Structure 1
Amino acid sequence: MTDPRAQIGTTGKRLSRRSMLAGAAAGVVAPAAIASLGGSAATAQGNSKGDSGKTRRITMYAEEFPDGNVGYGLAPGKASIPGPILEIWEGDTLEIDLVNNTDRRLSIHPHGVNYSVDSDGSPLNDSFNEPGETRTYIWSTTAPYKASGNMWMPGSAGYWHYHDHALGGAHGTEGLRKGLYGALIVRRKGDILPERQHTVVFNDMTINNKVAPHVPILEANLGERVEFIAIGHGNTFHTFHLHAHRWANNRTGILEGPKDPSQVVDNRDLNPGDSFGFQVIAGEGVGPGVWMYHCHVQFHSDGGMAGIFLVRNEDGSLPDGAQAALDRYHGHEHGGDHPHGH
């Protein structure tokens, strides 16, 4: 049995709460892009409509893997599936210089934020990268604001995502199938920041382009605040279920108080183009252990759409019984042969 540490996915990293809070108090602004392997949580303030906000510029690279899959990364040779988690605060603008290091046309298209037709990322608007081309995409955000007729317009805060919209056709279907996707978070002033983050993408019959038992293990220590960003792609209906943990079915996944009427769930539809996020306290009320997350469409989970959320002891050690459960997961047949991505 391989050491479970070697199976850890590249979709989360422990963030220091002390450093985050200290940064917020000092008005420090961290980079807008948080890579799959980490970075620190941003601490910028939200802005109302009309405020200039802050503008940050990052460079992303689209690269092909030896098996033919394709991913986004924040540095040459660092592409991953899913791509890096991108974070901004309401009122801020993110400028992305996308470098296409493949021999196919591709793009980057966001959900949930504002952009012009030039930054649409679609062939319809002639917005894409030719092979070898670098193109700048500009995404802006806004806080809720009062519009004409005394109506309030929603802000940009939410758990969104980005993806290709040009590889293989006008809708980027081949790009999505090959792994060109990632999480986009727009936070509102006062939102609680996590200590770890994990992106989970149900893409047709895979999780992050893999199937069990090859889905990377997602980890946390007992008591850590963990953020999940769930995204759906492909052509298939799914539901996302996390064992032993639950969340509020609202924008943040967190109840605002004991009288908050938000529905509390542990299973939610996750269909193509959909996304949501939530935070849990790892092992809260149930203790450390090996907890499954999976699609609750039964033949999907039987076919390999199942992963592991490993909650270690507070000191990082494996809890009793965890190794045996990991052995069972890695030794179980999950529905035959499937292509496995990076």
Structure 2
Amino acid sequence: MPESPMAESPYEVLGVAPTVDEAALKRAYRRALRAAHPDTGGSTTRFDQVQRAWELVGTPDARADFDRGGRRGDDGVPDAEQWAPRAPSRPAGSRVSARAYGHPGGWSREWYLERIREWVGRGVEIANPYDQGLVHSAPAEIRHLLANALAEEATAVRLSDLGIGFTVWHDLATEAAGRHAVPKLDHLVLGPTGLIAVQSEDWGRPVHFKRGELFGAGIPADEHPVKELAARAKDVTRRAKVKPTALVIVVPDDHAAVPIEIGGAVRGVPVALVRRSRLASAIREGIHEPNRKGAPILGGLDAMEVRKRLQDSVVFAE
């Protein structure tokens, strides 16, 4: 898998600019290594990150290779190429796809391209808007748009594997207000286990629940992911006169401490933090608060009626 656009570049890990000379880079590496060492108050995780950063840019050849194409995924393809739009793919041997509507990641990609061009400057030609150096030099809020587009696309692949008993809508427009309340709901899933509103996220760092809200080093202090997801889900579903049975925030596997964590409820609707690899199984099994397992409540309606109401009312983000 490619690194996230929100992940620190090797230069950021070492605390230097990409243009730093070789001697200064070596000094920065030694300084970062001492600070990150567990025996001097650092952590094993950070120590490993510093060592990995040095592997990527510590020699002239490695640095030149990184600067040409950035990090490379497990298949050897530079991250910058993997960040560009690609044809959807699904795991080999996966079941018949769930019925799906909308364009996952489309709004986030379009908005990323708009914002990156504004940031670079109107009239300035950008040869590759997914260039690693360009992306990592952009402000965090712009990188986050690209990270979320990739996250939404990856989530859509997982949701497609739910099978024919499920229907999925992607990129649904909302009028939810708030600074971080993006005017869309990433995914809405209807199936035998209920109506689940799903937000795909990548803050570049691990996150955790605290008093019913998500927190983490990558989440801005004025951002409230659970509250904002609940507002978007409410806006989309009330037009169809239905109510979601669960709210899910899905993150990269290494950003959640456990595969599935229930963080409480919003107006009786359970909220879960789910690792991406476990998303499909979590939805198939059903998402409930502890000690409240049972059939999902769809307001006395059957799934066919809920699907019809949603099909008649949803509007896709543009």
Name whichever structure is richer in helix by fraction: 2
Greater Rg over alpha carbons, structure: 2
TM tier, shorter chain?
0.3 to 0.5
After TM superposition, the score normalised by the length of structure 1 is: 0.31
